[in-house]
Amino acid sequence: MFAASRIQARAFSASARQLSKVTVLGAAGGIGQPLSLLLKMNPRVTELSLYDIRQGPGVAADVSHVNTKSTVKGYQPDDTGAGLGEALKGSEVVLIPAGVPRKPGMTRDDLFNTNASIVRDLAKACAEHCPEANLLIISNPVNSTVPICREVFKARGVYNPKRLFGVTTLDVVRASRFVSEIKGTDPTEEKITVVGGHSGVTIVPLFSQSKHPDLSSNAELVKRVQFGGDEVVKAKDGAGSATLSMAMAGARMADSVLRAIGGEKGVVEPTFVESPLYKDQGIDFFSSKVELGPSGVEKILPVGELDANETQLLEACVGDLKKNIEKGVAFLASNPGK
């Protein structure tokens, strides 16, 4: 009897795992729309839930005509306030690209005043309606919005550090592309480790660990990886920041999380998570290679050996990162919201 019910439970969880509801909060935005499309193309997604304060249902109607198997539903705030809850209920993965993007001359930190409360309120809804979902935070400044989410979840007693991720995938996507341009190689074959955070000098590429250790002394390349976002902000000239490459990076991260949930072993992505790596320096969150598993973070991989250039970069990273994280934590303490 006991064995039979165990087998039944196992069979149930195996089939339940194949049902993956994925929700995008901010689905009608520059990132949200192409991200939603890429998720619709992912056969691991069975239900796609698209929420935005404007045009959630519109984007959902459009994406729903793509002839893949998943169902799509769109949501926006309604008079009862139920829209967001409905969008989130039962989600396994929630991606959050809601918030404002940069204009030329701004840093990501300049977005804090607007985006902190947007992310706080969405995190509250997640804590209430899908506390066990994997939360993938795209909204900037990631170095601060991820700590805000932790504080929200902690305040509600539902925080699980294995389920909260800052999406830093775009930094490794860029690094591999930029290296391939210099070396004339296939970018998909260039595996570049990038650690730290997701803004300016907190982004630390580790070329010494790649196939091209010589690139570690290429200051121009290092700067291009650290400030790749600015390149796009400048080129878009007031119309926003990276959206298409970010959608690709977000879809890749979501796919990796879903593959790990589905039982695939050895899925590794760089991501900004609560991490022991630099806790001794007062840094709670750090982006490094993370092995993903059915419960989210399986294993945080060590940063590995750094050369002298990278050691210097990391020193600069740690100072800024600490301030960004503390800013997020302090925000929630003095602005708990409703």
Ligand X SMILES: O=C([O-])CC(=O)C(=O)O
Ligand Y SMILES: NC(=O)C1=CN([C@@H]2O[C@H](COP(=O)(O)OP(=O)(O)OC[C@H]3O[C@@H](n4cnc5c(N)ncnc54)[C@H](O)[C@@H]3O)[C@@H](O)[C@H]2O)C=CC1
What residues are labeled active site? 198
Minimum distance, C-beta of residue 314 to ligand Y, in the bound complex (Å): 20
When the beta carbons of 229 and 270 are compared against ligand X, the nearer one is: 229
Minimum distance, C-beta of residue 114 to ligand Y, in the bound complex (Å): 8
Q: List the one residue from 48, 60, 94, 98 that touches ligand Y (CB under 6 A).
A: 98
When the beta carbons of 210 and 245 are compared against ligand Y, the nearer one is: 245
When the beta carbons of 208 and 285 are compared against ligand Y, the nearer one is: 285
247: nearest Cα among 27, 20, 22? 27
Minimum distance, C-beta of residue 264 to ligand X, in the bound complex (Å): 27
Provide the binding-site residues for ligand X, judged by CB under 6 A. 101-102, 108, 140, 170, 229, 232-233, 241-242
29 binding partner (options ligand X, ligand Y, none; Cβ < 5 to 8 Å by kind): ligand Y
What are the φ/ψ torsions at residue 336 (nearest 5 degrees)?
A: -70, -15
Q: Which two tokens stand for residue 108?
A: 């990501």
Q: What is the DSSP letter of 241?
A: S
**Are the beta carbons of 271 and 168 closer than 8 angstroms?**
yes
Minimum distance, C-beta of residue 188 to ligand Y, in the bound complex (Å): 19
- Residue 268, helix vs strand vs coil: strand
25 binding partner (options ligand Y, ligand X, none; Cβ < 5 to 8 Å by kind): ligand Y
When the beta carbons of 83 and 101 are compared against ligand X, the nearer one is: 101
C-alpha distance across the termini of the chain, in Å:
48
Site string for ligand Y, 115-154 (x = CB under 6 A): x--x---x---------------xxx-x------------
Number of neighbouring beta carbons within 10 Å of residue 263: 10
Q: Which two tokens stand for residue 28?
A: 């009608």
**How far is residue 101 from each of residues 29, 125, 329, measured CA to CA in Å?**
10, 22, 21
Q: Which two tokens stand for residue 71?
A: 């169902």
**246: contact with ligand Y by CB under 6 A:** yes
